[in-house]
Amino acid sequence: MTRRVAAFLIAIACLAPAAARAQSLLVEGFGGYQGLQPNWGSVKNSFAHGNEGTALVGGDLLAQIGGLGVGVSVDKTVSGNYGQPWAGSILAGFVVPVTVIRLEVLGELGRRGVDFGDIFKDRGQTFVGVRPGVRFRFGPSPLNIGAAALIRWPTSGGDFGSPDWGLVGRIGVEFP
């Protein structure tokens, strides 16, 4: 556990200089729908054991440096019959601003756990994912709204199973 916490803190420390050089820093919240798949069931029967649709809420912090985006995200499943897992991830990818629209294709590397602390312990499970999305900026104001897809594949135990997927609406504030 100590190595994972240390690795997480090192990753956050590596993001700090990037945020200092960033052209913009976005703080956003999101919420929507997530389809959990059966492959997450190896964590003491606490994840879905069949396809299940659930609500999802979360937030992220994203720095834009040129055409690249780096950040962190955390979310929680807030409904469902098979537990309400937390997920945390590090994000990196491409950000393409086009006037008031911004297109994003972000990859994520993260962990999911039944409790928030499980993200940093052996009870958590790793995943890789992609987050394609679009964001609209309200003219000169710092407010942004948008939508994104979340697609996550479990990687724990060397098993690359069926992905979880989600659709979320986003609202955020962007600091230049």
Q: How far apart are CA 10 and CA 120, in angstroms?
A: 13
Q: How far apart are CA 140 and CA 142, in angstroms?
A: 7
Q: What is the CATH number of the domain that holds 161?
A: 2.40.160.20
Tokens of 23: 């052209």
Model confidence pLDDT, tens digit, residues 16-52: 555 455 688 999 999 999 887 755 444 444 444 456 7
Asked whether the beta carbons of 107 and 146 are under 8 A apart, the reply is no
Residue linked to tokens 């958590």: 124
Model confidence pLDDT, tens digit, residues 35-94: 877 554 444 444 444 567 789 999 999 999 989 999 999 999 887 665 678 899 999 999
Tell me how many domains the chain contains: 1
Q: What is the pLDDT of residue 6?
A: 59
164 pLDDT more than 90: no
Model confidence pLDDT, tens digit, residues 103-146: 999 999 998 888 887 777 777 788 999 999 999 988 888 999 99
Residue 8 belongs to what H/E stretch?
A: helix 2-21
8 pLDDT more than 80: no
Q: How does strand 164-175 pair with strand 52-65?
A: unpaired
- Mean pLDDT over 5-25 rounds to 62
Going by pLDDT thresholds of 50, 70 and 90, the confidence category of residue 163 is: confident
What is this structure's pTM? 0.77
Asked whether the beta carbons of 66 and 23 are under 8 A apart, the reply is yes
Q: What is the pLDDT of residue 173?
A: 95
Q: How far apart are CA 83 and CA 60, in angstroms?
A: 22
Range(s) of the domain holding residue 56:
2-175
Q: How far apart are CA 105 and CA 131, in angstroms?
A: 6
